[in-house]
Amino acid sequence: MGKKILVTGGSGYIGSHTVIELQKSGFDTIIIDNLSNSIPEIVDQIARITGKKPLFEKFDMTARPALEEFFKRHADIAGVIHFAACKAVGESVADPLKYYHNNLVSLIYLLECMRSQKNQPKLVFSSSCTVYGQPDQLPVTEKAPVKQAMSPYGNTKQISEEIIDDSARQTGIASISLRYFNPIGAHESALIGELPIGVPNNLVPFITQTAIGKREQLTVFGNDYNTPDGTCIRDYIHVCDLARAHVVALQRLLEEKNETPHEVFNLGTGTGYSVLEAIQSFEKTTGVKLNWAFSGRRPGDVEKVWADTTLANLTLGWKAEKGLDEMMATAWAWEKNMAAGILNNLNKNK
Ligand code: WQD
Protein backbone atom coordinates (compact mmCIF):
# COMPACT_ATOMS: atom_id res chain seq x y z
CA MET A 1 0.00 0.00 0.00
CA GLY A 2 1.45 3.37 -1.07
CA LYS A 3 0.95 6.58 0.82
CA LYS A 4 -2.53 8.02 0.29
CA ILE A 5 -2.67 11.29 -1.62
CA LEU A 6 -5.78 13.45 -1.94
CA VAL A 7 -6.11 15.12 -5.35
CA THR A 8 -8.77 17.82 -5.28
CA GLY A 9 -10.09 18.59 -8.76
CA GLY A 10 -8.45 15.32 -9.78
CA SER A 11 -10.87 14.53 -12.64
CA GLY A 12 -9.89 17.79 -14.32
CA TYR A 13 -7.27 18.35 -17.01
CA ILE A 14 -4.05 18.70 -14.98
CA GLY A 15 -5.43 16.77 -12.02
CA SER A 16 -6.15 13.61 -14.04
CA HIS A 17 -2.69 13.62 -15.63
CA THR A 18 -1.18 14.08 -12.17
CA VAL A 19 -3.17 11.14 -10.73
CA ILE A 20 -1.60 8.94 -13.42
CA GLU A 21 1.92 10.07 -12.48
CA LEU A 22 1.14 9.57 -8.77
CA GLN A 23 -0.06 6.03 -9.39
CA LYS A 24 3.02 5.32 -11.53
CA SER A 25 5.13 6.42 -8.54
CA GLY A 26 3.36 3.99 -6.20
CA PHE A 27 1.00 6.36 -4.42
CA ASP A 28 -2.62 5.52 -3.64
CA THR A 29 -4.88 8.32 -4.85
CA ILE A 30 -8.28 9.61 -3.90
CA ILE A 31 -10.01 12.24 -6.04
CA ILE A 32 -12.60 14.71 -4.85
CA ASP A 33 -14.25 16.85 -7.49
CA ASN A 34 -17.55 18.72 -7.86
CA LEU A 35 -17.56 17.85 -11.59
CA SER A 36 -18.30 21.50 -12.47
CA ASN A 37 -15.59 21.40 -15.15
CA SER A 38 -14.97 17.68 -15.69
CA ILE A 39 -16.81 14.38 -16.12
CA PRO A 40 -16.68 11.20 -13.99
CA GLU A 41 -15.72 9.06 -17.01
CA ILE A 42 -12.19 10.46 -16.71
CA VAL A 43 -11.74 8.29 -13.60
CA ASP A 44 -12.47 5.20 -15.74
CA GLN A 45 -9.98 6.43 -18.34
CA ILE A 46 -7.29 6.74 -15.67
CA ALA A 47 -7.97 3.13 -14.71
CA ARG A 48 -7.67 2.09 -18.37
CA ILE A 49 -4.23 3.76 -18.52
CA THR A 50 -2.76 2.64 -15.18
CA GLY A 51 -4.82 -0.47 -14.40
CA LYS A 52 -5.72 1.06 -11.06
CA LYS A 53 -8.96 2.98 -10.47
CA PRO A 54 -8.49 5.91 -8.08
CA LEU A 55 -11.02 6.35 -5.29
CA PHE A 56 -13.47 9.09 -6.25
CA GLU A 57 -15.93 11.15 -4.25
CA LYS A 58 -18.08 13.89 -5.74
CA PHE A 59 -18.70 16.87 -3.52
CA ASP A 60 -18.18 20.59 -3.23
CA MET A 61 -15.23 21.72 -1.12
CA THR A 62 -17.11 24.84 -0.01
CA ALA A 63 -19.50 22.48 1.81
CA ARG A 64 -17.50 22.45 5.01
CA PRO A 65 -19.32 19.67 6.93
CA ALA A 66 -18.81 17.29 4.00
CA LEU A 67 -15.11 18.15 3.85
CA GLU A 68 -14.64 17.70 7.61
CA GLU A 69 -16.45 14.35 7.45
CA PHE A 70 -14.24 13.31 4.51
CA PHE A 71 -11.06 13.99 6.47
CA LYS A 72 -12.43 12.07 9.46
CA ARG A 73 -12.87 9.06 7.14
CA HIS A 74 -9.41 9.47 5.64
CA ALA A 75 -7.13 10.22 8.58
CA ASP A 76 -4.24 8.57 6.69
CA ILE A 77 -3.89 11.18 3.94
CA ALA A 78 -0.16 11.91 3.66
CA GLY A 79 -0.39 14.67 1.10
CA VAL A 80 -2.85 16.89 -0.74
CA ILE A 81 -2.48 18.23 -4.27
CA HIS A 82 -5.03 21.02 -4.55
CA PHE A 83 -6.27 21.70 -8.10
CA ALA A 84 -9.97 22.32 -7.41
CA ALA A 85 -10.74 25.90 -8.48
CA CYS A 86 -12.57 27.86 -11.13
CA LYS A 87 -10.01 28.84 -13.79
CA ALA A 88 -11.58 30.78 -16.67
CA VAL A 89 -10.09 34.27 -16.80
CA GLY A 90 -12.99 35.80 -18.74
CA GLU A 91 -15.65 34.22 -16.52
CA SER A 92 -13.87 35.56 -13.44
CA VAL A 93 -14.25 39.12 -14.79
CA ALA A 94 -17.96 38.51 -15.43
CA ASP A 95 -18.56 36.89 -12.02
CA PRO A 96 -15.80 37.84 -9.51
CA LEU A 97 -17.70 36.77 -6.38
CA LYS A 98 -18.12 33.24 -7.74
CA TYR A 99 -14.32 33.06 -8.10
CA TYR A 100 -13.47 34.60 -4.71
CA HIS A 101 -16.04 32.42 -2.96
CA ASN A 102 -15.19 29.14 -4.66
CA ASN A 103 -11.42 29.44 -4.89
CA LEU A 104 -10.69 31.02 -1.52
CA VAL A 105 -13.33 29.44 0.73
CA SER A 106 -12.47 25.94 -0.52
CA LEU A 107 -8.77 26.58 0.15
CA ILE A 108 -9.42 27.91 3.66
CA TYR A 109 -11.68 24.97 4.55
CA LEU A 110 -9.08 22.58 3.15
CA LEU A 111 -6.28 24.12 5.21
CA GLU A 112 -8.42 24.07 8.37
CA CYS A 113 -9.23 20.39 7.83
CA MET A 114 -5.56 19.57 7.17
CA ARG A 115 -4.54 21.43 10.33
CA SER A 116 -6.96 19.32 12.40
CA GLN A 117 -5.51 16.02 11.19
CA LYS A 118 -3.42 14.09 13.77
CA ASN A 119 -0.73 13.60 11.10
CA GLN A 120 -0.80 16.83 9.13
CA PRO A 121 -0.59 16.18 5.37
CA LYS A 122 1.77 18.10 3.08
CA LEU A 123 0.30 20.51 0.51
CA VAL A 124 1.11 21.06 -3.18
CA PHE A 125 -0.88 23.98 -4.60
CA SER A 126 -1.81 24.73 -8.21
CA SER A 127 -0.79 28.32 -8.84
CA SER A 128 -0.20 30.23 -12.06
CA CYS A 129 2.24 32.54 -13.84
CA THR A 130 -0.72 34.90 -13.96
CA VAL A 131 0.54 36.20 -10.61
CA TYR A 132 3.38 37.95 -12.46
CA GLY A 133 1.12 39.97 -14.79
CA GLN A 134 3.41 41.44 -17.47
CA PRO A 135 6.87 40.89 -15.96
CA ASP A 136 9.40 43.74 -16.22
CA GLN A 137 12.15 41.24 -17.01
CA LEU A 138 12.10 38.01 -19.03
CA PRO A 139 12.56 35.15 -18.41
CA VAL A 140 10.62 35.69 -15.20
CA THR A 141 12.00 34.26 -11.94
CA GLU A 142 10.17 33.39 -8.71
CA LYS A 143 11.76 36.51 -7.20
CA ALA A 144 9.92 38.76 -9.67
CA PRO A 145 7.39 41.04 -8.00
CA VAL A 146 3.83 39.76 -7.91
CA LYS A 147 1.90 42.41 -9.83
CA GLN A 148 -1.63 43.73 -9.75
CA ALA A 149 -3.66 40.76 -11.01
CA MET A 150 -5.10 41.12 -14.51
CA SER A 151 -8.30 39.30 -13.48
CA PRO A 152 -10.17 38.11 -10.38
CA TYR A 153 -9.01 34.60 -11.32
CA GLY A 154 -5.37 35.71 -11.16
CA ASN A 155 -6.08 37.55 -7.91
CA THR A 156 -7.46 34.39 -6.31
CA LYS A 157 -4.14 32.68 -7.11
CA GLN A 158 -2.17 35.55 -5.56
CA ILE A 159 -4.34 35.62 -2.43
CA SER A 160 -4.24 31.81 -2.18
CA GLU A 161 -0.43 31.86 -2.18
CA GLU A 162 -0.49 34.47 0.59
CA ILE A 163 -2.95 32.41 2.66
CA ILE A 164 -0.75 29.33 2.23
CA ASP A 165 2.38 31.31 3.09
CA ASP A 166 0.95 32.64 6.35
CA SER A 167 -0.72 29.42 7.38
CA ALA A 168 2.29 27.19 6.55
CA ARG A 169 4.44 29.18 8.97
CA GLN A 170 1.83 28.98 11.73
CA THR A 171 0.56 25.43 11.23
CA GLY A 172 3.77 23.83 10.01
CA ILE A 173 1.90 22.33 7.02
CA ALA A 174 4.86 22.16 4.61
CA SER A 175 3.65 23.57 1.29
CA ILE A 176 4.80 24.11 -2.28
CA SER A 177 3.06 26.40 -4.77
CA LEU A 178 3.66 25.56 -8.42
CA ARG A 179 3.27 28.48 -10.85
CA TYR A 180 2.19 26.94 -14.15
CA PHE A 181 2.87 28.65 -17.41
CA ASN A 182 0.63 27.40 -20.25
CA PRO A 183 -0.26 23.73 -19.89
CA ILE A 184 -1.23 22.07 -23.20
CA GLY A 185 -1.19 18.64 -24.84
CA ALA A 186 -2.53 15.27 -23.67
CA HIS A 187 -1.43 11.88 -22.37
CA GLU A 188 0.33 9.75 -25.02
CA SER A 189 -2.50 7.18 -24.83
CA ALA A 190 -4.95 9.85 -26.11
CA LEU A 191 -7.40 8.46 -23.54
CA ILE A 192 -7.44 11.68 -21.48
CA GLY A 193 -6.76 15.30 -22.31
CA GLU A 194 -8.10 18.83 -22.08
CA LEU A 195 -11.90 18.74 -21.98
CA PRO A 196 -13.16 22.30 -22.42
CA ILE A 197 -16.86 22.48 -21.67
CA GLY A 198 -18.46 24.91 -24.14
CA VAL A 199 -16.44 27.28 -26.32
CA PRO A 200 -12.74 26.99 -25.38
CA ASN A 201 -11.10 30.06 -23.85
CA ASN A 202 -7.61 28.71 -24.42
CA LEU A 203 -5.59 28.65 -27.63
CA VAL A 204 -4.75 24.99 -28.14
CA PRO A 205 -8.21 23.47 -27.61
CA PHE A 206 -9.53 26.14 -29.99
CA ILE A 207 -6.87 25.14 -32.53
CA THR A 208 -7.74 21.43 -32.33
CA GLN A 209 -11.50 22.06 -32.41
CA THR A 210 -11.07 24.26 -35.49
CA ALA A 211 -8.89 21.59 -37.13
CA ILE A 212 -11.48 18.86 -36.43
CA GLY A 213 -14.26 21.07 -37.84
CA LYS A 214 -16.06 21.77 -34.57
CA ARG A 215 -15.24 25.51 -34.88
CA GLU A 216 -15.35 27.50 -38.08
CA GLN A 217 -12.23 29.59 -37.63
CA LEU A 218 -9.58 30.36 -35.01
CA THR A 219 -9.30 34.04 -34.13
CA VAL A 220 -5.79 35.25 -33.36
CA PHE A 221 -6.20 38.02 -30.80
CA GLY A 222 -3.94 40.86 -31.93
CA ASN A 223 -0.94 41.18 -34.26
CA ASP A 224 0.40 44.53 -33.11
CA TYR A 225 2.27 43.46 -29.99
CA ASN A 226 5.92 44.33 -29.45
CA THR A 227 7.07 40.81 -30.44
CA PRO A 228 8.91 39.51 -33.53
CA ASP A 229 5.71 38.54 -35.38
CA GLY A 230 3.33 40.85 -33.52
CA THR A 231 1.48 38.07 -31.66
CA CYS A 232 1.65 37.24 -27.95
CA ILE A 233 4.36 34.95 -26.60
CA ARG A 234 3.73 32.19 -24.04
CA ASP A 235 5.72 29.38 -22.40
CA TYR A 236 3.72 26.28 -23.41
CA ILE A 237 4.44 23.22 -21.28
CA HIS A 238 3.29 19.63 -21.86
CA VAL A 239 0.69 18.63 -19.27
CA CYS A 240 2.59 15.37 -18.58
CA ASP A 241 5.79 17.28 -17.77
CA LEU A 242 3.69 19.45 -15.48
CA ALA A 243 2.10 16.40 -13.84
CA ARG A 244 5.51 14.85 -13.18
CA ALA A 245 6.61 18.05 -11.40
CA HIS A 246 3.75 17.67 -8.90
CA VAL A 247 5.00 14.22 -7.88
CA VAL A 248 8.56 15.53 -7.50
CA ALA A 249 7.32 18.45 -5.38
CA LEU A 250 5.21 16.13 -3.21
CA GLN A 251 8.14 13.76 -2.67
CA ARG A 252 10.30 16.74 -1.66
CA LEU A 253 7.79 17.57 1.07
CA LEU A 254 7.27 13.97 2.19
CA GLU A 255 11.03 13.57 2.54
CA GLU A 256 11.08 16.91 4.42
CA LYS A 257 13.66 18.39 2.08
CA ASN A 258 11.86 21.73 1.83
CA GLU A 259 14.03 24.60 3.08
CA THR A 260 11.16 26.87 4.15
CA PRO A 261 7.54 26.17 5.20
CA HIS A 262 6.23 27.40 1.81
CA GLU A 263 8.29 27.12 -1.38
CA VAL A 264 7.34 28.48 -4.83
CA PHE A 265 8.50 27.13 -8.22
CA ASN A 266 7.93 28.17 -11.84
CA LEU A 267 6.84 25.29 -14.06
CA GLY A 268 7.60 26.13 -17.67
CA THR A 269 10.03 25.07 -20.38
CA GLY A 270 11.98 28.35 -20.36
CA THR A 271 11.15 28.88 -24.05
CA GLY A 272 8.48 31.27 -25.34
CA TYR A 273 6.50 30.74 -28.55
CA SER A 274 4.19 33.20 -30.31
CA VAL A 275 0.64 32.37 -31.31
CA LEU A 276 1.74 32.15 -34.96
CA GLU A 277 4.60 29.81 -34.03
CA ALA A 278 2.12 27.63 -32.14
CA ILE A 279 -0.13 27.51 -35.21
CA GLN A 280 2.85 26.69 -37.44
CA SER A 281 3.89 23.88 -35.10
CA PHE A 282 0.37 22.43 -35.17
CA GLU A 283 0.14 22.56 -38.98
CA LYS A 284 3.63 21.08 -39.47
CA THR A 285 3.10 18.31 -36.92
CA THR A 286 -0.40 17.25 -37.97
CA GLY A 287 -0.41 18.15 -41.68
CA VAL A 288 -3.72 19.95 -41.07
CA LYS A 289 -4.06 23.46 -42.51
CA LEU A 290 -5.73 25.70 -39.97
CA ASN A 291 -8.39 28.30 -40.83
CA TRP A 292 -7.51 31.39 -38.80
CA ALA A 293 -7.73 35.19 -38.97
CA PHE A 294 -6.51 38.14 -36.95
CA SER A 295 -8.80 40.24 -34.78
CA GLY A 296 -8.13 42.96 -32.21
CA ARG A 297 -6.35 42.27 -28.94
CA ARG A 298 -8.13 40.32 -26.16
CA PRO A 299 -8.49 42.55 -23.07
CA GLY A 300 -6.29 41.41 -20.19
CA ASP A 301 -3.80 39.52 -22.33
CA VAL A 302 -0.18 39.73 -21.23
CA GLU A 303 2.10 40.56 -24.19
CA LYS A 304 4.88 38.09 -23.50
CA VAL A 305 5.86 35.78 -20.66
CA TRP A 306 8.17 32.81 -20.31
CA ALA A 307 9.77 31.15 -17.31
CA ASP A 308 13.18 31.13 -15.76
CA THR A 309 13.14 27.45 -14.71
CA THR A 310 16.49 27.40 -12.89
CA LEU A 311 14.98 26.95 -9.43
CA ALA A 312 12.78 23.99 -10.42
CA ASN A 313 15.63 22.46 -12.42
CA LEU A 314 18.23 22.74 -9.66
CA THR A 315 16.17 22.50 -6.46
CA LEU A 316 13.39 20.15 -7.55
CA GLY A 317 15.65 18.28 -9.95
CA TRP A 318 12.84 18.52 -12.52
CA LYS A 319 13.03 19.71 -16.13
CA ALA A 320 10.38 19.81 -18.86
CA GLU A 321 11.28 17.27 -21.54
CA LYS A 322 8.64 17.56 -24.28
CA GLY A 323 8.79 20.08 -27.10
CA LEU A 324 6.04 22.13 -28.76
CA ASP A 325 5.55 19.71 -31.66
CA GLU A 326 4.90 16.81 -29.27
CA MET A 327 2.49 18.97 -27.30
CA MET A 328 0.55 19.68 -30.50
CA ALA A 329 0.66 16.05 -31.70
CA THR A 330 -0.79 14.74 -28.43
CA ALA A 331 -3.45 17.48 -28.29
CA TRP A 332 -4.50 16.53 -31.84
CA ALA A 333 -4.61 12.76 -31.11
CA TRP A 334 -6.88 13.45 -28.14
CA GLU A 335 -9.18 15.72 -30.18
CA LYS A 336 -9.52 13.01 -32.83
CA ASN A 337 -10.33 10.42 -30.17
CA MET A 338 -13.01 12.68 -28.69
CA ALA A 339 -14.48 13.19 -32.18
CA ALA A 340 -14.49 9.39 -32.58
CA GLY A 341 -16.73 9.23 -29.49
CA ILE A 342 -14.25 7.73 -27.05
CA LEU A 343 -16.07 9.26 -24.08
CA ASN A 344 -19.56 8.57 -25.44
CA ASN A 345 -18.66 4.90 -25.88
CA LEU A 346 -17.80 4.82 -22.19
CA ASN A 347 -21.34 6.04 -21.44
CA LYS A 348 -22.74 3.31 -23.65
CA ASN A 349 -20.59 0.65 -21.93
CA LYS A 350 -22.14 1.52 -18.57
C1 WQD B 1 -2.65 32.04 -25.07
C2 WQD B 1 -2.42 33.01 -26.22
C3 WQD B 1 -4.18 34.64 -26.51
C4 WQD B 1 -7.32 31.85 -27.68
C5 WQD B 1 -4.70 31.53 -19.39
C6 WQD B 1 -4.67 31.86 -17.93
C7 WQD B 1 -3.65 30.99 -17.25
C8 WQD B 1 -4.00 29.57 -17.52
C9 WQD B 1 -3.96 29.31 -19.02
C10 WQD B 1 -5.46 28.53 -15.93
C11 WQD B 1 -2.81 34.45 -25.87
C12 WQD B 1 -4.08 33.71 -27.71
C13 WQD B 1 -6.10 32.38 -27.26
C14 WQD B 1 -7.81 32.14 -28.99
C15 WQD B 1 -5.85 33.45 -29.40
N16 WQD B 1 -5.29 29.27 -17.01
N17 WQD B 1 -5.38 33.16 -28.12
N18 WQD B 1 -7.05 32.93 -29.80
O19 WQD B 1 -4.43 33.58 -21.54
O20 WQD B 1 -1.99 32.81 -21.71
O21 WQD B 1 -3.45 31.87 -19.95
O22 WQD B 1 -4.95 30.18 -19.60
O23 WQD B 1 -4.64 28.04 -15.22
O24 WQD B 1 -3.68 31.24 -15.86
O25 WQD B 1 -4.27 33.20 -17.78
O26 WQD B 1 -3.83 31.22 -22.29
O27 WQD B 1 -4.50 29.81 -24.19
O28 WQD B 1 -6.07 31.66 -23.40
O29 WQD B 1 -3.98 32.27 -24.60
O30 WQD B 1 -5.19 34.19 -30.14
O31 WQD B 1 -8.91 31.68 -29.42
O32 WQD B 1 -3.27 32.63 -27.31
O33 WQD B 1 -4.40 35.97 -26.93
O34 WQD B 1 -1.90 35.31 -26.53
P35 WQD B 1 -3.41 32.51 -21.42
P36 WQD B 1 -4.68 31.19 -23.64
- The CATH number of whichever domain residue 167 belongs to comes to 3.40.50.720
Asked if 307 and 258 sit in the same domain, the reply is no
CA distance 241 to 63: 32
C-beta separation of 185 from 272 below 8 A: no
Asked if 101 and 173 sit in the same domain, the reply is yes
Asked if 160 and 302 sit in the same domain, the reply is no
Asked if 274 and 256 sit in the same domain, the reply is no
Choice among 99, 109, 153, 273 that is catalytic: 153
Please report, to the nearest 10 degrees, the dihedral formed by the alpha carbons of residues 163, 166, 171, 175 taken in order. Answer: 70
Domain total of the chain: 2
Q: How far is CA 315 from CA 95, 125, 300, 305, in A?
A: 38, 17, 32, 22
99 lines ligand 1 (CB under 6 A): no
Asked if 151 and 77 sit in the same domain, the reply is yes
| Kind plus residue range of the DSSP H or E element containing 187 | none
Residue 262 lies in a domain: yes
203 lines ligand 1 (CB under 6 A): yes
Residue 75 lies in a domain: yes
Residue 217 lies in a domain: yes
CA distance 50 to 21: 9
Which domain covers residue 288, as residue numbers?
203-234+270-349
89 lines ligand 1 (CB under 6 A): yes
Asked if 248 and 149 sit in the same domain, the reply is yes
pLDDT at 346 over 70: no
C-beta separation of 221 from 300 below 8 A: no
CA distance 172 to 48: 38
CATH of the domain at 293: 3.90.25.10
Q: How far is CA 88 from CA 55, 152, 201, 207, in A?
A: 27, 10, 7, 17
pLDDT-wise least confident of 110-119, 157-166, 339-348:
339-348
Task: Say whether 153 is catalytic.
Answer: yes
Asked if 329 and 281 sit in the same domain, the reply is yes
In ligand 1, the atom with minimum distance to the C-alpha of 153 is 24
Asked if 129 and 224 sit in the same domain, the reply is no
Which residue lies with its CA nearest to atom 34 of ligand 1? 232
For residue 300, the model assigns a pLDDT of 84
C-beta separation of 70 from 8 below 8 A: no
213 CA from centroid of ligand 1 (Å): 21
pLDDT tens figures, 180-235: 999 999 999 999 999 988 899 999 999 999 999 999 999 999 999 999 999 999 99
